[in-house]
Amino acid sequence: MDKIEVREVSKRFSSKTVLEPLTFSVKQGEIFGILGPSGSGKTTLIKMMIGMLKPSTGTVTVCQTSMPNLNVFHQIGYMGQADALYEDLTARENLSFFAGLFGMKGKRKRERMVQVLHLVDLTEHAEKKVSAFSGGMKRRLSLAITLVHQPNVFALDEPTVGIDPVLRRAIWGELGRLKENGAAILVTTHVMDEAEKCDRLGLIRDGQMIDIGSPQELMNKYEATSIEDVFLLSGGDTK
């Protein structure tokens, strides 16, 4: 079942075309990766998917509902590249505030906060103000906020930027568990080993979708031994 459907979607800002028309879908129980360099249109695509931007052409449907739709937005686990955190609050206070916005309360809220703080390795720092956090710690807290209300659709814009390799592996392990539980996950990345963990990939460059397929399908098609080679052979650029 398709949880996310993008049909002939494009985006223009004034006279500049940021995204050419593209079409793809993300199924329940699937991690779909958008792989491309900075400036290729990945963030614009994510923002249209969650309803923060309206497409110039085409339609975006999430959970069989046309976007933008505020009710559906609250069902999505969204993590942008910029950390939207309250610096004068502690990590726990930030997490409690956003969990409350998602309608969580009582025992369920408390238990889930403990779980996600542990997942992102912030339990020992829960009572620290966010203003004292490093950039990597802020990313980890942002991810905890994204996960706390247990959505079944995710839009993650380069979620592991600035996170150490050990924790990055743990986060991808959690994404795998979410997938097994039926979540539909759209994740953007420019990291090749992360791309290889996705069920399917969309290769994007200069606002154009170059190709779509599973990592193995793409490697077979381009007679390549890695996704990095696929991207180069297909006309992409990893820099």
pLDDT band at 239 (very low <50, low <70, confident <90, very high): very low
* Residues 94-126: tens digit of each pLDDT: 999 999 998 999 999 999 999 999 989 999 999
pTM (global) more than 0.85 = yes
User: Taking 80 as the threshold, does the pLDDT of residue 235 lie above it?
Assistant: no
Euclidean distance between the first and the last CA atom of the chain, given in angstroms as a whole number = 35
* Residues 14-62: tens digit of each pLDDT: 889 999 999 999 999 999 999 988 888 999 999 999 989 999 999 999 9
CA separation, residue 82 to residues 138, 139, 155 (Å): 10, 9, 14
pLDDT band at 237 (very low <50, low <70, confident <90, very high): low
Task: Give bridge partners of residue 25 from the DSSP assignment.
Answer: 5
**Residue 180: which residues within 8 A CB-CB, separation 6 or more?**
29
Q: What is the pLDDT of residue 236?
A: 57
Do the beta carbons of residue 48 and residue 55 sit within 8 Å? Answer: yes
Please give the Cα distance from 103 to 116 (Å, whole number).
17
Going from N- to C-terminal start, the domains of the chain cover 1-75+152-239, 84-150
pLDDT band at 170 (very low <50, low <70, confident <90, very high): confident
Strand order through the sheet with 200-205: 76-79, 153-157, 184-189, 30-35, 200-205, 208-213
Task: Give bridge partners of residue 6 from the DSSP assignment.
Answer: 24, 60
User: Taking 90 as the threshold, does the pLDDT of residue 71 lie above it?
Assistant: no
Architecture of domain 1-75+152-239: 3-Layer(aba) Sandwich (3.40)
Q: What is the pLDDT of residue 1?
A: 79
* Residues 177-231: tens digit of each pLDDT: 999 999 999 999 888 889 999 999 999 999 999 999 999 999 999 999 999 999 8
Q: Which of 235, 186, 197, 198 lies closest to 24, judged by CA? A: 186
Q: What is the pLDDT of residue 164?
A: 84
